[in-house]
Chain A
Amino acid sequence: MKDSPEITKGEKIQYSRFKPEMYQPSMSLFWWTKRTPYLWFILRETTSLFVGMYAILMLIQLNALRRGAGSWEALIDWFQTPLSITLHTVIFLFVIFHSITWFMLTPKVIELRFRGKKIPDRLIIAGNIFFWMMISLAVILMII
């Protein structure tokens, strides 16, 4: 019992006799399946793939517009295939999920104060959703 641990300032305490190996748990590749909130988180992050996918689809649309009526008609024809409609529906659902989660999380990033009082998160979320609806309506009215 003679090995009294020496403690030097600035260094971490080195235990010897009474501290054998520490156990360091490792993380599984499937860590996100362990708790439901993690699963929702991964789903939320996955929406980015569909946002990116639609950005590329928009590039294709612009290119078809540029190349003339023939190309545009061909693209419209492809848009009417079941494959395209399914693809667009899946993208749509994921992007909607992105929109909702995005608007729900904005109060975490932006804290607004009115006369020194914090504006409640719910009000910001409701404002976001309202603004989203208005913008969508504006785009619909412009196109139709």
Chain B
Amino acid sequence: MIVKKKPEAFWWSLFGVGGTLAALLLPVHIFLLGIAGPLGWIEMPDQDTFRSVATHPIARIYFFCLISLSLFHWAHRFRHSLNDGLMLKHVEAYIIILCYGTAIAGTVLAGILVIII
């Protein structure tokens, strides 16, 4: 019965899980690869080492989940920010397509990348 309703519960679940994953894992990723590495505080991994890490089955799943769910987290929150913060409720349908559409596209891309890497 609930399934036939608008899938708000579904989007919210993805938002919640994505928000948790992003909160736990993104800071350390950004810090290591984006700040500490380039500033020379730690050594940047070369392509070979990093690739051998990233091709481990668990790493593939890890990257896929982290990227996809972070995108869904963004999509859901940004949709509400546009709706409420910028009062764009009247174009909600377009916002939904734009936000979740981008997240779905990113998920597909992440899926392809972690498979062929």
Interface residue ranges, A against B (CB under 8 Å)? 27, 29, 32, 42, 45-46, 48-49, 51-52, 54-59, 61-63, 65-66, 68-69, 71-73, 76, 79-80, 84-85, 87-89, 91-92, 95-96, 98-99, 102-103, 109, 131-132, 135-136, 139-140, 143-144
Structural contact, A27 and B87, CB atoms closer than 8 A? yes
| Further 15 A-B residue pairs, CB within 8 A, beyond A54-B29, A54-B70 | A45-B77, A48-B74, A52-B70, A55-B106, A58-B29, A65-B117, A66-B113, A69-B48, A76-B38, A79-B37, A88-B35, A95-B26, A95-B27, A98-B19, A136-B25
**In the assembly, what is the distance between CA of A62 and CA of B109, in Å?**
10
Residue of A71, A84, A95 with highest tally of chain B CB at under 10 A: A95
Structural contact, A85 and B47, CB atoms closer than 8 A? no
Q: How many A-B residue pairs have CB under 8 A?
A: 151
Structural contact, A48 and B47, CB atoms closer than 8 A? no
Instruction: List 6 tightest A-B contacts by C-beta distance, closest first.
Output: A88-B34, A52-B74, A48-B77, A72-B47, A99-B23, A55-B70
Structural contact, B78 and A52, CB atoms closer than 8 A? yes
B14 at the interface (CB under 8 A from A): no
Could you tell me the distance in whole angstroms from the C-beta of B23 to the nearest C-beta in chain A? 4
Q: How many residues of B contact A (CB 8 A)?
A: 54
Select one of A55, A58, A139 contacting B74, CB under 8 A: A55
On chain B, the residues within 8 Å of A131 by CB distance are 24
Write 29 A-B pairs (CB below 8 A) sorted by A numbering: A29-B86, A45-B81, A48-B74, A51-B22, A52-B74, A54-B26, A54-B70, A57-B34, A58-B63, A58-B67, A59-B110, A61-B33, A65-B54, A65-B117, A69-B46, A72-B47, A76-B37, A79-B37, A79-B38, A79-B44, A85-B35, A88-B34, A92-B31, A96-B27, A98-B19, A98-B22, A99-B27, A102-B20, A132-B23
Interface residue ranges, B against A (CB under 8 Å)? 16, 18-20, 22-35, 37-39, 42, 44-48, 50-51, 54, 63, 66-68, 70-71, 73-78, 80-81, 85-87, 106, 109-110, 113-114, 116-117
**In the assembly, what is the distance between CA of A101 and CA of B75, in Å?**
18
Structural contact, A139 and B28, CB atoms closer than 8 A? yes
On chain A, the residues within 8 Å of B54 by CB distance are 62, 65
Could you tell me the distance in whole angstroms from the C-beta of B29 to the nearest C-beta in chain A? 7
